[in-house]
Amino acid sequence: MPAELAQSYKSKAQQARVVTEAWGKTELFCANCKSSSLGETPANNRAIDFICPSCDAPFQLKAKSGIIDKTIHDGAYSAMLQAVREDRTPNLLLMRYAPTTWRVVDLILIPSFAFPESAIIKRNPLAPTARRAGWIGCNIDLSRIAPEARIPIIASSLPATSAKVRASYEKLKPLREIKAAQRGWTLDVLNIVRSLGKTEFTNDDVYARDRELEQLHPGNKNVRPKIRQQLQVLRDAGLLIHVKEGHWRSV
């Protein structure tokens, strides 16, 4: 990355922002279409860092020097939750870089339509003595996002081809056609299915996790029928194959 840009700033956070965004302007490509680059967004748009000049797909870049663990700090809880409900979240790019060499170590893409409400975790309000007293932020729990929706662009300093990244993104696109109000259920069931670690599974395998889904969706009192419905939705999306009654195969 262009490390020389960091010299104009004292703040580590500012250095990281300037250097990583400059790198993104020259190296990032669009996963949603064949554009080989991403353009800048208007100034003061805190939620979006890049936009595709061909398809207008928005992207947000979050960079850190430590490992990308399961919890990512984000902005205001209410704003993020509303963005998920209104289908306004950008594609999220999570970067890990080496601070001494300014090299990209890992880069993960999470499609804009892959965030269930269950992944948005409310943080405690800021203390009364804080500058923004009472402000409530949120974390993104990556463990609540299906594994195939955490698309590696760079892993251990090795980049994937743009064709492979786009193929992974394309496979998930049918989820985008599901209305945001219903998509959370679909994504939560998909995540549970993948966590089973089985190529083939049964309804009963997923029913064994019904308490977890009850906690994520306390307003629904008919969890098992909802599970069956969502397995059919995932089949229609091309992410599952229906083998026979009550039996499924992951794609």
- % pLDDT > 70, the chain: 98
Is 77 within a domain? no
Q: How confident is the model at residue 117 (pLDDT cuts 50, 70, 90)?
A: very high
Q: How confident is the model at residue 19 (pLDDT cuts 50, 70, 90)?
A: very high
Is 53 within a domain? yes
Is 61 within a domain? yes
pLDDT at 44: 62
CATH number at residue 189: 1.10.10.10
Is 207 within a domain? yes
Based on the domain organization, do 160 and 88 belong to the same domain? yes
If we measure between CA atoms, which residue out of 198, 207, 3 comes closest to residue 99? Answer: 3
Is 21 within a domain? yes
pLDDT at 41: 83
Number of structural domains the chain divides into: 2
pLDDT at 43: 64
Is 41 within a domain? yes
Q: Give the contacts of 93 (CB within 8 A, at least 6 positions apart).
A: 24, 28, 59, 60, 61, 62, 107, 108, 109, 153
pLDDT at 221: 85
Q: How confident is the model at residue 210 (pLDDT cuts 50, 70, 90)?
A: very high
Is 129 within a domain? no
Q: What is the pLDDT of residues 172-206, one digit of tens each?
A: 999 999 999 999 999 999 999 999 999 999 999 99
Is 175 within a domain? no
Based on the domain organization, do 109 and 195 belong to the same domain? no
If we measure between CA atoms, which residue out of 206, 174, 211, 171 comes closest to residue 190? Answer: 206
Q: Give the contacts of 4 (CB within 8 A, at least 6 positions apart).
A: none
Based on the domain organization, do 18 and 56 belong to the same domain? yes
Based on the domain organization, do 17 and 93 belong to the same domain? yes
Based on the domain organization, do 40 and 13 belong to the same domain? yes
Q: How confident is the model at residue 237 (pLDDT cuts 50, 70, 90)?
A: very high
pLDDT at 116: 97
Based on the domain organization, do 12 and 108 belong to the same domain? yes
Rounded to whole angstroms, the Cα distance separating 126 from 107 reads 30
Q: What is the pLDDT of residues 70-108, one digit of tens each?
A: 999 999 999 999 999 999 999 999 999 999 999 999 999
Based on the domain organization, do 21 and 67 belong to the same domain? yes
CATH number at residue 59: 3.40.210.30
Arithmetic mean of pLDDT over the chain: 95
- Domain with 155 in it: 3-72+84-115+139-169
